[in-house]
Structure 1
Amino acid sequence: MAPGLPAAMDRPHFIGIGGAGMSGIAKILAQRGAKVAGSDAKESATVEALRAAGATVHIGHAAEHLADDASCVVVSSAIRKDNPELARAAELGIPVVHRSDALAALMEGLRPIAVAGTHGKTTTTSMLAVSLGELGLKPSYAIGGDLDAPGSNALHGEGDIFVAEADESDRSFHTYAPEVAIVLNVELDHHANYASMDEIYESFETFAGKIVPGGTLVISADHEGARELTRRLAGKVKTVTYGAAEDADVRVTAVVPQGLKSEVTVLLDGQELTFTVSVPGRHYALNAVAALTAGAALGIPAAELAPALAAYTGVKRRLQLKGEAAGVQVIDSYAHHPTEMTADLEAMRAAGGDSRILVVFQPHLFSRTQELGKEMGQALALADASVVLDIYPAREDPIPGVTSELIIEAARAAGADVTAVHDKAEIPAVIAGMAKPGDLVLTMGAGDVTDLGPLILDRLSQ
C-alpha cells in the first residue's frame, strides 16, 4: 500500500502550478488528501484539470495568492527570485521546497524507478507507467507530459512502485534515491547550467550514486555518452546495459517498422522476446527496451511486461497526430535538441513512405540555439521543406546576436529548403500554401508551436 501524505506538505502552494513537472506533483498531493493551492501565468487545460482534482488555482502571480497558513511553497528552477509569492513566503517564514524535493518526498517508502537522459525521458516513463498499469500493479507516476488528457501526467497509485521522470537540466535529479535508475543517453544540453561534458558526466555520476544499495542502473549500450558514463561507473554500481550493441546485456536483435508501429526482438537472460511498440521510430523502440529492462531489474517477469508495453500508444507532443485535413496529416513533436529532431524526422520518413515532410520549427532557448543552432539547421535538412519561427525564450533573456537566423543559415548550407517566418499568426496560411495531399506536417519544438496544429488544420480544411 502506498504511503500517505508527506509531513509538512498538507497545505502546499505551487508557484507555476500548471507546469509539466509541477502539476503532476500537485495532482498526486491532492489525491493523497492535501489542500493544494497555487498560481500560474494563464488559464490552461492543465489548470482546469487541477481544479477538477480539488486544487485552488489563481491566475497571475501576486502576494495575496499565498495563504497565510500554507505549509510550504513549492517552486521549480524556472521561478525567478523576485516572484511576489516567493517574497511573501519569506515574510511569513513559510518553507520553500524545490519541486524535486517534493517529488522525492512522494517517493519515500516506495520502490522508485527514476528515468534520466538527455532525450526520451517522458516517453520511457510513460511506457513504464502504462505497462505496469496493464499488469495490475497500480503504480504511482509523475511524467513530464500528458498521456491522453490534460492532467494525466501523474497518478497516486495503490501499488508500491513509483515511476518518475528525473530531470538533469538543473541537477535536481540528485535528490532521488531510486531502486532502479535508467540512463537513456548522455549529451551536452542545458548550456545555462552545464559548461562542459565533464560537468554533465559528473552530474550523471552523482545521480547514479544515489541508487539505493542493491539497486540497479539500466543504461544504453549504444549511445557513446552512456557508454562513457558506464566506464566511469565501473565497479561503483550494479549495471545492466541494453541496446543493439553486441556487448549489451539485453540485446536488441531486430526492430522491424510496421507502419506507425514497430516489432522489436530482444535477447534477455538467454530468452528471445518479440513484442510490439505502438509508436513509430527506432528510438522509441529502444525506449521500450529500456523500460522492459528496468521492469526486469525490479523483478517483473519480462515475458509479462513485454506484451504489456504494446498498450502504450503515445504521449502528447511526442509525434502526436493532431488530425488530417485536405489529405494532409499534422503531427506535433516536442523535439528541440538536434538529436531529438533527427530521430523524429527519421521516424516520420520511415513511417511516411513517399510522403513529403514539412516542418514548422520553433527554436527553444537562446542558450541552446547559440550552442546547437548549426546542428539544428543540419537536422532540418532531413525535411523536404521547413519554416523556422523566432526563438521561444521560455525563462531566458535574449543573447545579443543569437536569433533563428543561425539555424536558417546552417540549414541552407546543408541544402535545406527553409523559410523564416517571424509572425506565428502567418503560419497556417504559409503551410496551407505549401502543403499538398499526402504530405506530413510536423509542428516541432518545446515552446508554444504546439498551438499551431489545430490552426493549420482549420486553414487546410477551408
Structure 2
Amino acid sequence: MSTAELNHAGTPVRQPVHFIGIGGVGMSAVARIMVARDVAVSGSDAKDLPVMHDLEAQGARIAVGYDAANVGPAGTVVAGSAIRADNPELLAARDAGIPVLHRSEALAALMGEDRVVTVAGTHGKTTTTSMITVLLKGIGLDPSYAIGAAVPALGVNAASGADDVFVAEADESDGSFLNYSPRIAVVTNVEADHLDHYGTADAVYRAFDDFAALLPADGLLVICADDDGAAALADRVAAAGHTRVLRYGASEAADLRLLGTASDPSVLIGEQEHPLRLTVPGRHNQLNALAALGVALELGVNADDALAALEDFRGAARRFEFKGEVGGIRVYDDYAHHPTEVRAALNAARTVAGEHRLHVLFQPHLFSRTREFAQEFAESLRLADTAVVLDIYPAREDPIPGVSSELITAYLGTKPSEPGERAVEAVLRGAGEGDVVLTVGAGDVTAYGALILDALEDAVAHG
C-alpha cells in the first residue's frame, strides 16, 4: 500500500483495508481516519466494543471474533503488536500474500505530505497530544489527529482534518514510533520501561536517539529540560546539530520556562512572562502544556492565543478522569502504569484532595513491569493515605513464575486484595466526606469507578 493510496479525502483508494483488533484505541483511530477518507474498511476484534458500533455506523464492515473469512477482499491488512502470530486472520493474510502493515505504518501512510507532529515519551504522551490538538482546534485550525484515548473536548480520539497538520501520539513500547517522519517531535521524558521489548535501559535510550534522528535539518525537537533522560537526549541532539532543539520546563536551561508556584504558574517566553491557566491539576500537566505551547509557537500561533486555547483543555479519558461524587467522596480514574506516572497521578490527586484523605486502588500492568519496578511502585503508592493493590493485569504477557502483586505489597506491609466487592470494600474502608478515591492502572481497574460509586450510593441510601 502506497502513501498516495491513503492520502487525504478525495484521493482514490483501490483496495479495501482490514484491521485485526479494530476495537483497540490505536487501531480504531487509524480505521476512523481511513473511513473518513472514503477507504473501504473492515475489521474484527475478540470482543464487541462500543467503538466498533461507531465505526460500523460510519460504513465499516465489522465482525466480532477472529475468523479467516473476515479478511474478505482486503488488499491490505493492518495489525498491532498485540495480535498473536497464530491469529487466523493474520495467517490467512500471509497465506494469501496480502501485505500486512503494523498499525503505525498504516498511520504513517495516512500522514502523506502533512506537517507531522509526533509526541513521544515514557509518560504524558496522550495528554500532551490531546493538549496540542485541542489548542490547534481552539485557534481555528483543523488538524488530522490520532490520540491514544478519547478526548472529551474533541468527542473522539482521531479525525481527518482539512488543514495540512497531522498530530499523532508516537508509541515507543514496541519501537513503532520510529515509523514516522515528523517535522516537529515532542519528547516528554525518557525512562526505562517496556523492558519486555527492549531488554535494557540503554536500548530504550538508543531508541529515543533514533526517534530524534527522524527529524529533518529544519525540524524541531520540543523536549522537557526537567527530566534527566530527556535533558540528556536534548544535549546529544544539540551537540550533533542536525536539527533544532526547544527545551521546556522549570530548569534554567529551558527556552520555555515554567515559573511561579504549582497553584499559580506562569511561563516565560523570551523576556515576557505569561500566566498559565489550566483546569487539569498537577505539575506534570503544566509541563505538558508547555510542550503544547512549543509546538503551537513553531506552527506560527500567537502565544496569547495558544495559552487561551489551553484553558479549554479538560483532560483525556483515563487521565485523572473524574468519574463522579457521592456523599462528598470524589472518584477519579487514571491510566498510570509506571512508577513515575503513578507518583504524578497521586500528587495531582493530593492537590485535589487538599486537607482530606486519598485512597488508591492500584492494578499493576504486566508481569515484567511489576518484576522490574515493584519497590518503585510501592514508594509511589505511599503518597496515598491508603493503598489497595489488585492482582497483575497480564495484557499481552504470559505469567512469570514468582511474579505477583505480592512483590509490591511486601514493601507496603499489606496483602493483595481479592477482586470485586472485596476490593471495593477495602478501598472505601475509612473513606469519608471530602476524600478522594483514585483507581489506577492500564488494565480493567477502570471498571471499578462505577462499582465504587454504586457502593457509595448504596451506603447513602441505607444510611
TM-score band (shorter)? Answer: over 0.9
User: CA offsets, 1:78-133, max 9 Å, x none?
Assistant: 11110000011112221101111111111111111100100000000000111111
Task: Name the CA shift for 1:239/1:9 in 2 (closer, same or farther; >3 Å).
Answer: farther
SS of 1:350 mapped into structure 2: helix
2:183 maps to 1:170? no
TM-score, length-scaled by structure 2: 0.94
2:240 maps to 1:244? no
For 1:66-215, list aligned pairs within 5 A: 66-67=71-72, 69-148=73-152, 152-215=156-219
User: CA offsets, 1:363-410, max 9 Å, x none?
Assistant: 000010010111001111111111111000000000000000001012
SS of 1:77 mapped into structure 2: coil
Give, in angstroms, the shift of residue 421 of structure 1: 1.2
Task: Name the CA shift for 1:230/1:59 in 2 (closer, same or farther; >3 Å).
Answer: same
* 2:42 corresponding residue in structure 1: 37
Cα distance in 1, alignment partners of residues 358 and 251 from structure 2: 31
* 1:388 corresponding residue in structure 2: 389
Cα distance in 2, alignment partners of residues 130 and 307 from structure 1: 11
Task: Name the CA shift for 1:255/1:36 in 2 (closer, same or farther; >3 Å).
Answer: farther
CA RMSD of aligned residues (A): 1.7
Give, in angstroms, the shift of residue 197 of structure 1: 2.4
* 1:445 corresponding residue in structure 2: 441
* 1:311 corresponding residue in structure 2: 312
SS of 1:38 mapped into structure 2: strand
User: CA offsets, 1:117-160, max 9 Å, x none?
Assistant: 00000000000111111111011110000112997110111111
Cα distance in 1, alignment partners of residues 421 and 14 from structure 2: 43
TM-score, length-scaled by structure 1: 0.94
Query: Which runs of 5 or more residues in structure 1 are unaligned?
Result: 258-262, 413-417
Supply the AA of the counterpart residue of 1:45. Answer: P
SS of 1:163 mapped into structure 2: strand
Cα distance in 1, alignment partners of residues 21 and 61 from structure 2: 13
* 2:56 corresponding residue in structure 1: 51
Cα distance in 1, alignment partners of residues 163 and 70 from structure 2: 35
Query: Which runs of 5 or more residues in structure 2 are unaligned?
Result: 1-6, 459-463
SS of 1:39 mapped into structure 2: strand
For 1:10-21, list aligned pairs within 5 A: 10-21=15-26
Supply the AA of the counterpart residue of 2:251. Answer: A
SS of 1:214 mapped into structure 2: coil
Give, in angstroms, the shift of residue 328 of structure 1: 1.1
SS of 1:177 mapped into structure 2: coil
Give, in angstroms, the shift of residue 303 of structure 1: 2.0
Contact 2:143 2:161 in 1 (8 A): yes
Give, in angstroms, the shift of residue 10 of structure 1: 4.7
* 1:25 corresponding residue in structure 2: 30
* 1:254 corresponding residue in structure 2: 260
Cα distance in 1, alignment partners of residues 196 and 13 from structure 2: 32
* 1:270 corresponding residue in structure 2: 271
User: CA offsets, 1:417-452, max 9 Å, x none?
Assistant: x45213235323333444222221111000010011
User: CA offsets, 1:305-355, max 9 Å, x none?
Assistant: 111111110111001010011221110011110000001111111221112
Give, in angstroms, the shift of residue 200 of structure 1: 1.3
Cα distance in 1, alignment partners of residues 215 and 33 from structure 2: 23
Task: Name the CA shift for 1:5/1:197 in 2 (closer, same or farther; >3 Å).
Answer: farther
* 1:260 corresponding residue in structure 2: none
2:420 maps to 1:424? yes
Give, in angstroms, the shift of residue 250 of structure 1: 1.1
* 2:398 corresponding residue in structure 1: 397
Task: Name the CA shift for 1:127/1:363 in 2 (closer, same or farther; >3 Å).
Answer: same
Give, in angstroms, the shift of residue 58 of structure 1: 1.1
Cα distance in 1, alignment partners of residues 441 and 127 from structure 2: 16
Cα distance in 1, alignment partners of residues 10 and 447 from structure 2: 36
Task: Name the CA shift for 1:44/1:151 in 2 (closer, same or farther; >3 Å).
Answer: farther
Task: Name the CA shift for 1:56/1:316 in 2 (closer, same or farther; >3 Å).
Answer: same
Identity, in percent, stands at 49
Cα distance in 1, alignment partners of residues 365 and 154 from structure 2: 22
SS of 2:349 mapped into structure 1: helix
